[in-house]
Amino acid sequence: MAPRYRSYGANPAGRVIAVVADVMALIIGLWILLFLLGANRSNGFVRFVHDAATWLTGWAQGIFTFHQEWARVICDYGLAAVVYLFVGHAIANRMHRY
């Protein structure tokens, strides 16, 4: 009998959940990077990433009240990205067991 390796491959739904969580965190992380690099906010791609990240992190906006905008962006958006990764992979892991 072949050993069972721990991966999301055994359950397609778990794999989908993990990928969705990764994509959500990637969009948020991309916005943090674009913000820190001073990307042109009138650019269509930058505006799309910003709007998507803001929509995904609506629940986390305003949690931190730093005076510097860069610190608020990193903490508010970063917290949301970490939560999506943690929760998404925890659910995918749980589904893998069934």
- Arithmetic mean of pLDDT, 7-32: 86
CA atoms within 13 A on the CB side of 15: 7
pTM for this model (two decimals) = 0.81
Which segments within the chain are labelled E, that is strand? none
Question: 62 versus 28: which is more confidently predicted?
Answer: 28
In a domain, 6, yes or no: no
In a domain, 19, yes or no: yes
The rounded distance, in Å, linking the Cα atoms of 86 and 6 is 17
In a domain, 92, yes or no: yes
Instruction: Write out pLDDT tens, residues 42-81.
Output: 999 999 999 999 999 988 888 888 889 899 999 999 999 9
Asked if 28 contacts 47 with a C-beta cutoff of 8 angstroms, the reply is no
Nearest to 56 by CA among 32, 38, 81: 81
Domain housing 39:
11-96
In a domain, 44, yes or no: yes
In a domain, 5, yes or no: no
> How many structural domains is the chain composed of?
1
Please determine, for residue 98, whether its predicted confidence score (pLDDT) is greater than 70.
no
In a domain, 3, yes or no: no
